[in-house]
């Protein structure tokens, strides 16, 4: 396996763990109450696990590609976080604004909150992942 593939897979694994922890905190502290109060009638009794897994697998790949960019050593942290923020903004806006456009009584507050969450979550995950995987970090910590 090439170094680039190994680097990408490591970034994916780190980003997946960071995003999972961050998203669980978000869902349990903010999103579940907001969704229940604003769109409770649209919610399923239980999540579709296959749909959730597919979302996380695909979404984390996008964050790694557009944000973390593990195979672009010259990218600055600012460029990585900006790319991630834009990825999160555009992807969450796609869902939220489509809901606003086609679902009866879809609340603007849910759309705006989701869009903001997408940008913030991707930025934080990318910042943490890129910082943890910064070249030389392993060498410095073992010296």
Instruction: Please determine, for residue 139, whether its predicted confidence score (pLDDT) is greater than 70.
Output: no
Q: Which two tokens stand for residue 96?
A: 């939220």
Those residues with Cβ within 8 angstroms of residue 73's Cβ, 6 or more apart along the chain or in another chain = 135
DSSP 60-79: HHHHIIIII-TT-TT--HHH
Q: Which two tokens stand for residue 11?
A: 């970034």
**Ranges of each domain in the chain:** 3-142
Instruction: Please determine, for residue 142, whether its predicted confidence score (pLDDT) is greater than 90.
Output: no
* pLDDT tens digits for range 84-120: 999 999 999 999 999 999 999 999 999 999 999 999 9
Angle, in degrees to the nearest 10, between helices 49-63 and 3-26: 130
Residues 71, 7: contact at Cβ < 8 Å?
yes
Q: Say what the pLDDT of residue 9 is.
A: 97
Q: Say what the pLDDT of residue 136 is.
A: 53
Instruction: Please determine, for residue 140, whether its predicted confidence score (pLDDT) is greater than 70.
Output: no
How confident is residue 134, by pLDDT bands cut at 50, 70 and 90? confident
Query: Chain centroid to CA 115: how far?
Result: 11
Residues 90, 28: contact at Cβ < 8 Å?
no
* pLDDT tens digits for range 40-71: 998 999 999 999 999 999 999 999 999 999 99
């Amino acid at each position: 396996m090439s170094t680039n593939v190994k680097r990408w897979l490591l970034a994916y694994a780190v980003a997946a763990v960071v995003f999972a922890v961050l998203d669980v905190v978000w869902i349990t502290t903010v999103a579940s109450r907001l969704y229940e109060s604003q769109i409770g009638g649209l919610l399923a009794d239980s999540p579709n696990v296959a749909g959730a897994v597919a979302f996380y697998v695909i979404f984390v790949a996008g964050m790694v590609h557009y944000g973390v960019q593990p195979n672009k050593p010259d990218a600055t942290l600012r460029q990585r976080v900006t790319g991630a923020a834009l990825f999160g903004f555009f992807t969450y806006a796609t869902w939220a604004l489509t809901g606003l456009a086609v679902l009866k009584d879809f609340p603007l507050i849910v759309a705006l909150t989701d869009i903001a969450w997408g940008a913030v979550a991707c930025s934080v995950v990318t910042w943490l992942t890129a910082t943890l995987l910064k070249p030389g970090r392993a060498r410095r910590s073992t010296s």
